[in-house]
Amino acid sequence: VVCEDRHCRVLFARERDLYCLNEGETHPHPLTIELGDESCTIIEMAVSSNYERVAIFTDRGKLWIGSSDLKKCTRLYDTRSVSLPIQLVWCGVDAVVINWGLHLELVGPFEESLHYNYDETVFCVQEVDCIRVVSSQSMDIIQKVPEVVRNIFGINSTAAGSYLLEASKQYQKKNHRANEYLHLVKPKLFLAVRQCIEAAGHEFKAETQKMLMKAAQFGKTYLDDCSPENYVTMIRVLRCLNAVRHPNVGMPITYNQLQILTLQGLMELQMIRRNHFLALDLATFLKMPDSSKIRLHWACYKVEHSKLNDELVAKEIAEKIGSSRDVSYIKIAKKAADCGRNDLAIKLIEYEPRANLQVPLLLRLGEDQTGLIKAIESGNTDLVYAVLLHMKENMPLGKFQMEIRSFPLAQALYLKYCRLHNKDMLKDVYIQEDDHKSQAECYIRESFDPKNSSTREASLVAAEESYKRAKLDLNATLCEEHLRLSKYQRNLEDKFKRDFFGKSLHDTLKLLLTMQEVKLADKLRHEYKVPDRRYWWLRVKVLGELGAWSDLEKLSKSKKSPIGYEPFVEVCWKHGNRYEAQKYLPKVKDDVKVEYLTKLGMYEEAAQMAFEQKDLEGLRFIESKCDPSFADKVASFIRQLSK
């Protein structure tokens, strides 16, 4: 497979014929290359790590090396071997390795080739810049020597880094020749320091790394503006590389591989290889923020593979993680649940301080009661509602109601929920609890619901019975009276074809009076013992709205008014009939007569009466309401009373 940007293509061979299949196509394209033999068969192919070069091996021992588009051949090499290789791999991007089993043949871009012999059959793994040679006893790395290393350690090298390294060696020996080498490198001292630092990264031996880093440090002392960042970074990188290259870890990656993998990737790779404590040390040393991720991965692995009992596993995890908020115990508990270790999951949930994370998993594990307790302790009513709904959906109704009886807050919230969303269920709860008063209240609310107009009487009867069982006789009597009113309203509707049903007693009386059915209104008023004052107020108001002034006058003369005569004046004035209002003024109480005279615009009479009563406040009230032409006379009265 050859990848180029976002496009991929597949190279494959059938005997001598070579084909290319592009992404999105269904038919391959034939390709032609010169293999040096018309009758050969292609048996192996390999693509370099940068996808720019391809190696092809035939059954006649010929190796073709060229560009990945097969248009350019850089070398056609004859191995002069009749046996078939085990593998064909690239070593970096310049050389191809043929694995013959007991020895490797490395073919470069030039005429020479190298041979590596082994005592047993080996297997090669292609990396981005090298190959790993794996046997049953060991693992070797074959890599092209990096240019910076070759420049420093090459024989008779004149590279700046080479001079600086030699100067450092002589300085450590306290040899005066150190000054001579330093003089040679001083014009390129900055480059020399950089070369030594870079070369140290490519070295595997700790002694060589130290030697190169000492040389870089020696050179830095002679530079005024040399940033220590590269030096410090390389020291950290080398410590990480040496740690993972240790035989106990067994991961000998190169500096180039680390640059591609990144330190973050190296840490994650250690987690995958279950080197959690090494990964944690690396994260701490490099001051990386992902130590919580390592702890979480370790804990999940511990949960999945540990053979210890649940109590010990939970305790060990808690000791290692502590109360860190960066690590979620819920994720670990979910892993335990996924592995079928529910008891361990429940123990781990106890270490999670956040109830909104605890509760959903407890419900998933069937620990409904524990989940309800946690939700109540959190004080989060939304969380309590979530638990209640879950329990209601997953339990028989009777068992559910028995469960929540032990938790007053939960039961109160459940009743509130039922009151808003499911009134039938609310009644079921009250029936189970023998709460007759609450049952009656439910029936009354039902009776006043416009949707239940057809069953209102039945609801009132049920409410009356419930109040009787609760020994609330007054409430039962009120229900009985309201039931009688409802039946009476039904009769009125049938008789007058008007909407009476559902109205209050007051509104029913008002409607009858508006329809001038005074006898029916009087009968209803006597039946329900409506007070005289209330009934007279209603009659006066309705007669005023109807403009029935003669009937209003008859009412005022029928007997002494229990509400006085001020309401008569008020109603007439409100509906703009001053003439009728004046009829009732003589019967108005003296202490409010000034006010009503003023309202009717009878300022002179009002002022005279206020003056006679020596009512300064009344005069001031008249002064604020009267015309400017009369205001002087009122002011004169005020001055006389003020003397």
The confidence score (pLDDT) of residue 104 equals 93
Rounded Cα distance, 537 and 363, in Å: 63
Say if residues 99 and 91 touch (Cβ distance below 8 Å).
no
Residue 194 has pLDDT above 90, yes or no: yes
pLDDT for residue 145 is more than 70: yes
Residue 610 tokens read as 């206020």
Residue 267, classed as helix, strand or coil, is: helix
Beta bridge partners of 5: none
Confidence at residue 489, expressed as pLDDT on a 0 to 100 scale: 66
Q: What is the pLDDT of residues 77-121, one digit of tens each?
A: 888 888 889 999 999 888 999 999 999 999 987 777 899 999 999
Span 35-61, average pLDDT: 85
Domain ranges of the chain: 2-142, 145-226, 443-503, 511-642
CB 219 within 8 A of CB 231: no
Q: In terms of Cα–Cα distance, which of 557, 487, 563, 473 is closest to 524?
A: 487
Nearest to 582 by CA among 595, 573, 594, 591: 573
pLDDT value for 346:
87
For domain 443-503, which architecture applies?
A: Orthogonal Bundle (1.10)
Single-letter residue type at 269:
L
**What are 20-40's pLDDT values in tens digits?**
888 877 788 877 788 777 778
- Which pLDDT score is estimated for 502? 66
- 494 vs 122, which has greater pLDDT? 122
Give pLDDT, residue 143: 92
What is the reported pLDDT for 456?
64
Q: Say whether pLDDT at 241 is over 90.
A: yes
pLDDT tens for each residue of 195-222: 999 999 999 999 999 999 999 999 998 8
Average pLDDT over the chain reads 84
What DSSP string describes 374-406?
A: HHHHHT-HHHHHHHHHHHHHHS-HHHHHHHHTT
CB 518 within 8 A of CB 510: no
| Range scoring the smallest mean pLDDT among 340-349, 365-374, 396-405, 446-455 | 446-455
Strand partners of residue 57: 44, 63
pLDDT at residue 207, as a whole number: 95
Is the predicted pLDDT of residue 60 greater than 80, yes or no? yes
> What's the pLDDT at 105?
92
* 3-class DSSP string for 18-66: EEEEECCCCCCEEECCCCCCCCCCEEEEEECCCCCEEEEEECCCEEEEE
pLDDT above 60: residue 611: yes
168-181 pLDDT, tens digit each? 999 998 888 888 88
Asked if the model's pLDDT at residue 123 lies above 70, the reply is yes
Whether residue 299 has pLDDT greater than 60: yes
pLDDT confidence of residue 127: 92
- Burial letters for 236-259: b for 16+ Cβ neighbours within 10 Å, e otherwise? ebbebbebbeeeeeebbbbbbbbe
67-70 — which CB contacts under 8 Å span 24+ positions?
Answer: 68/2, 68/4, 70/11, 70/18, 70/31, 70/33
- By mean pLDDT, which of 129-138, 276-285, 369-378, 472-481 is the weakest? 472-481
Q: Quick check: 451 pLDDT over 70?
A: no
456-511 confidence digits (pLDDT tens):
667 667 666 777 777 777 777 777 777 776 777 677 777 777 777 767 778 888 88
Report whether pLDDT(338) > 80: yes
Per residue in 391-436, pLDDT tens?
888 888 778 878 888 888 888 887 787 777 767 676 676 766 666 7
CATH fold of 2-142: Methylamine Dehydrogenase; Chain H (2.130.10)
Pair 11, 66: CB distance under 8 Å: no
Q: How far apart are CA 290 and CA 456, in angstroms?
A: 67
* Residues 109, 64 contacting (CB under 8 angstroms): no
pLDDT at 466: 73
- Block residue for tokens 């069953």: 455
Residues 17/25, Cβ–Cβ less than 8 Å: no
Residue 453: predicted pLDDT: 57
Which band of pLDDT confidence, cut at 50, 70 and 90, is reported for residue 332? confident
pLDDT of residue 208: 94
pTM above 0.75, yes or no: no
